Amino acid sequence: MFEEIDVSPRGRLAVRLQDAIERRWSAEVQAIGVHGSLAHGDDREGSDVNVLVVTYREGAGPKPALRRVDGTLVDLEVITGDDGLRRARELTSRWPLDADRYVTTRPLHDPRGWFGRLRDTHLARLAEARPPEFTTLARHNWALASAAHTRAVRLAEWYETDAALVMIAEARLHAAMIVGLLTRTYFRNAADAVTRTGVAGADIQVLGAVLKEHAEELAARGRPVDGDLAALFDRP
């Protein structure tokens, strides 16, 4: 039996969603869980309700949705069991933001232990991953961070302050993802990522210095951020 979560309005809403889904699609749904603040047990006023519905086949169960329900934003994600386990075996440049849901999703309905398999599948993939794999993914984020930083500099020179701030925020997030990948650290969300890596308040100059340090570290790890045309087609 899973621990009760209906100690807050968000938790009670999640339980109501679970009940409604089970009643309507009982034969199609193999598991229902929550991730985010409800899974961590620290939801508060203004928190979202993030629900994952796992179905047996494609197109079954409820439709994915993102909308407010009784004043609370609900993010309803629907995925097949096979596709969910496949994704758990993938390592992408978004890994620092995706991993939390693989290991901390809280089951509401899971008679066959699917969420346990999801966690074990992802942890097994991490155990077999070698450092160069994470470094390559970090270099991808470096390229995105550098591009956003360059645009921010140009926009600031043109006094396009609002647009420059958007690019700075993007550069901060990708810079945080670099740290997450190089240290195998995952974050709860984007705000957590930039806060824990110390770039939340970094301005254009500081971000430039941070990206320079990251470029040097990536080069030292065998993944230089710049090279000739031939290097573009090298597997690393």
Whether residue 143 is contained in a domain is answered as: yes
Q: Is the pTM higher than 0.85? A: yes
Whether residue 4 is contained in a domain is answered as: no
Q: Is the pLDDT of residue 193 over 60?
A: yes
Q: Which CATH number fits the domain that encloses residue 91? A: 3.30.460.10
Identify which of 46, 35, 52 has the alpha carbon closest to the alpha carbon of residue 71. Answer: 46
Print the domain residue range for 72. Answer: 9-128
Residue 186, amino acid:
Y
Q: Do 140 and 40 belong together in one domain?
A: no
Whole-number pLDDT of residue 78: 98
Q: Is the pLDDT of residue 70 over 90?
A: yes
* pLDDT mean across residues, the chain: 95
Identify which of 33, 30, 36, 1 has the alpha carbon closest to the alpha carbon of residue 17. Answer: 33
Give the mean model confidence (pLDDT) for residues 76-87.
Answer: 98
25-64 burial, b if ≥16 CB within 10 A, otherwise e? beebbbbbbbbbbbbeeebeeebbbbbbbbbeeeeebbee
> Which of 60, 95, 128 corresponds to the end of one domain?
128
**Residue 37 phi/psi, 5° resolution?**
-65, -35
Whether residue 190 is contained in a domain is answered as: yes
> Which of 83, 104, 128 corresponds to the end of one domain?
128
Whole-number pLDDT of residue 233: 87
Whole-number pLDDT of residue 3: 55
Q: Do 123 and 204 belong together in one domain?
A: no
Q: Is the pLDDT of residue 189 over 70?
A: yes
Domain count for the chain: 2
Whether residue 89 is contained in a domain is answered as: yes
Q: Is the pLDDT of residue 231 over 90?
A: no
Q: Do 109 and 167 belong together in one domain?
A: no
Q: What is the C-alpha R_g of the chain?
A: 20
> Which of 73, 103, 128 corresponds to the end of one domain?
128
Encoded tokens for 191? 């705000």
Whether residue 92 is contained in a domain is answered as: yes
Encoded tokens for 35? 């991730």
Give the mean model confidence (pLDDT) for residues 109-138.
Answer: 97
Read off the pLDDT of residues 7-54 as tens digits, 9 standing for 90 and up. Answer: 899 999 999 999 999 999 999 999 999 999 999 999 999 999 999 999
Q: Do 42 and 148 belong together in one domain?
A: no
How many C-beta atoms surround the C-beta of residue 227 within 10 A? Answer: 10
Q: Which alpha helices (H) appear in the chain, and where do they start and end?
A: 9-25, 37-40, 81-88, 95-104, 114-128, 131-157, 161-183, 190-196, 204-220, 229-232
